């Protein structure tokens, strides 16, 4: 069951866009190392690698008494995670620009690693070209591409 199925449909209708953001909710996670900072960081880094992303920076923090927040900055945007071990729940974002990354491989890895028995994945288009072309018909910069 996908609670956000309708939102997914809305997002899909907005393509093409500069980037795509996958909003991943992992519920009822059975993994035993859910509150292990090093393990969670490793899972997220491997997810970025499986997506074929270029990692720029990795920042993870553990909170008291439990809970982890972490970001993997990639050239193509970022992966983010926030965990609530007491609820066996993790909120993950996989945000990428360009079409070359394998986000599905990253998301499959995350679901398997955390042992999620229920998940919700919503794809949201970011930077609708329809709006950009209407609002900024003339390009103020010479360079046609940028990171994001």
Q: Give the active site residues.
A: 77, 82, 97
Place of tokens 């393990």: 39
Count the neighbouring beta carbons within 10 Å of the beta carbon of residue 90.
Answer: 25
* By CB under 8 A, residue 99 contacts its own copies: no
Q: Please give the Cα distance from 60 to 46 (Å, whole number).
A: 14
Contacting its own copies within 58-87 (CB under 8 A): 59, 61, 63-69, 71, 73, 75, 77-78, 80, 82-87
Three-class SS state of 105: helix
Q: How far is the CB of 104 from its own copies (least distance, A)?
A: 20
* By CB under 8 A, residue 128 contacts its own copies: yes
Write 132-139 long-range contacts (CB < 8 A, 24+).
132/18
Which CB sits closer to its own copies, 28 or 102?
Answer: 28
| Cα distances (Å, whole numbers) of residue 135 to 41, 46, 138, 145 | 40, 38, 9, 18
Provide the binding-site residues for its own copies, judged by CB under 8 A.
3-4, 6-7, 10-11, 14, 18-19, 21, 23, 25, 27-28, 56-57, 59, 61, 63-69, 71, 73, 75, 77-78, 80, 82-89, 91, 93, 95, 97, 117-118, 122, 124, 126-128, 131-132, 135-136, 139-141, 143-148
């Amino acid at each position: 069951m996908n609670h956000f199925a309708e939102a997914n449909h809305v997002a899909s209708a907005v393509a093409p866009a500069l980037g795509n953001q996958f909003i991943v909710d992992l519920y009822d996670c059975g993994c035993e190392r859910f509150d292990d900072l090093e393990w969670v960081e490793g899972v997220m880094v491997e997810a970025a690698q499986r997506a074929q992303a270029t990692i720029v920076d990795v920042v993870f923090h553990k909170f008291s008494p439990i809970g982890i927040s972490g970001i993997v900055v990639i050239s193509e945007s970022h992966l983010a995670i926030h965990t609530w071990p007491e609820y066996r729940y993790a909120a993950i974002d996989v945000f990428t620009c360009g079409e070359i990354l394998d986000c599905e491989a990253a998301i499959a890895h995350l679901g398997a690693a955390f042992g999620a028995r229920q998940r919700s994945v919503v794809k949201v288009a970011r930077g609708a070209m329809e709006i950009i072309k209407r609002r900024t018909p003339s390009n103020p910069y010479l360079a046609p591409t940028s990171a994001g």
